Amino acid sequence: MTDTSDAAAKRARRLLRCYPHVWRARYGDEFTQLLIDDMSERPRSMRRTADVIRTGLLARAASAGLAGDALEPQQQIRCGLAAVGCALIAFLAFGVAIWSQLTIGWQWSAPAAPATKTAMLVMSAVILVFVVLALLAAIPLAWTLFRTCVRGRVGGPFAPMTSVVLGAALLVVGSIHFGHGWPGTGGHPWAGRDIVPGPVARFCWAATLWITSYWAHPGALASFPTSEITWMVVSPIALLAVLVGAANTLRRLSFSHRVLRYESWLGTAAALAMAGFLAGASCWIISGSPAPHGLFRVGAIDLVALVVMAVALILAFRAAQRALAASLIRSATR
Amino acid sequence: MARTEAPQTDESTKSEALSTLGRYAGPATLILSSLADGTKHGYALTKDIEAFADVRIAPGTLYEALARLERQGLIEPVESHDRRRPYRLTADGALALRVHLNSQRRVADVGLRRLASSTGTP
């Protein structure tokens, strides 16, 4: 092989990474060869690179159940629900970060602006809805996991389940520990007058401490205690471990169509709840009126969070809609 | 009666196979037309389509269409010891292409006839 064809093969393999694993397993070799042949004729082509990136992203969206018709209905439902779950976790991480910041402000002084008060009430109510939905979703999943474990059918579930347990334990213990530094009490003896119970607000604040604009200000961040900075690095990793472990555990389980249809309805409900939460958060951010003492002030990180939540909402809606449509089609054809 | 109706139902189903491709119908028609005279691998398809239609299909778009056509059962891969895997038209693919091209020809004929009668040029 010449240096030129070596370089072409290397570039082709790099471009191939735009596609998901399943697609690469089926078409990888022949597509790489086509790219090498094309490069031998036209060594540099922006159009080719853009085309590969575009179609690669589309193939990834299709494999996640967000686009196209490449998946079987059963697979479409599972992938769609997994996409809803991931979008929901990203949404909640940023949403809870905003919400718990606002609870600090309220602990010091109730917001004067009606928009902020409404936003807090809406967001708090929606968080309750999320808790109910999570419990409703978890019951059949936990039951299926329990039954499968009892029958000894799950293939190697211990590694992913260990990841979930360890990650969750670290998150809970760390959040309780670092929650003691919660600025919400402010030294006031009348702490607890917030609409949200102090321990809940403090736990959520500590769990989402890593969502902060301090990352863009390393000088200010360096003045934080080392243990707190370590927690800000470790806590998102622990959250990721829980997510990956849960996804891998669920992937090894086989669910009945009824359970999948039920989860699809819950996914749609969760997407609607996300829309409600985002409306509440937007209400506060758009009004942007700081209360006395600069409490409830909108910062850059809140705008970033709003964008992340909007993107997550769009993805969750699309995935939930497609999962529900697939489950209804499957019901109709049974 | 049933014997004469059966092929029409089949034809309309195959016609739908191409029409449901939406924005992929263009590359799909070109690929099926190229495969109509024999098996071809990706690069051979690109060159053949460029020669007869003056259109260069980019690699990503080509494989996006090939994957869809394969899923629909209109083409199938041929066993190959090379990394350049050839594809061939299936019987369904040939029927879908015929139906689609006939309908395109009807549209083209009407358009040309109306142009000729309004401008007076053949």
Contact criterion met (CB < 8 Å) for B59 and A59: no
Residue A302 inside a domain? The answer is: yes
Q: Structural domain tally of chain A?
A: 2
Judgement on whether residues A82 and A224 belong to the same structural domain of the protein: yes
Judgement on whether residues A56 and A77 belong to the same structural domain of the protein: no
Residue A201 inside a domain? The answer is: yes
pLDDT at residue B90, as a whole number? 95
Touching check for A52 and chain B: CB below 8 Å?
yes
Judgement on whether residues A23 and A149 belong to the same structural domain of the protein: no
With CA atoms as reference, the chain B residue closest to A57 would be B60
Judgement on whether residues A246 and A175 belong to the same structural domain of the protein: yes
Q: What is the pLDDT of residues A162-195, one digit of tens each?
A: 888 999 999 999 999 988 877 766 545 444 456 7
Nearest to A29 among B46, B59, B83 (CB): B83
Judgement on whether residues A131 and A183 belong to the same structural domain of the protein: yes
Q: What is the CATH number of the domain that holds B88?
A: 1.10.10.10
pLDDT at residue B4, as a whole number? 36
Judgement on whether residues A15 and A98 belong to the same structural domain of the protein: no
Nearest to A34 among B59, B64, B67 (CB): B59
Among A50-54, A157-161, A313-317, where is mean pLDDT lowest? A157-161
Q: Which domain holds residue B69?
A: 2-119
Judgement on whether residues A36 and A151 belong to the same structural domain of the protein: no
Higher-scoring residue by pLDDT: A148, A331: A148
In this prediction, the answer to ipTM > 0.90 reads no
Q: What is the pLDDT of residues A287-313, one digit of tens each?
A: 766 555 566 677 788 889 999 999 999
Which of B20, B85, B87 has the highest number of chain A CBs within 10 A, making it the mutation to test binding with A?
B85
pLDDT at residue A251, as a whole number? 77
Bridge partner residues of B40 (DSSP): B87
Q: Which domain holds residue A196?
A: 73-333
Q: What is the pTM of this model?
A: 0.71
Residue A68 inside a domain? The answer is: no
pLDDT at residue B5, as a whole number? 38
Residue A89 reports pLDDT greater than 80: yes
Judgement on whether residues A289 and A163 belong to the same structural domain of the protein: yes
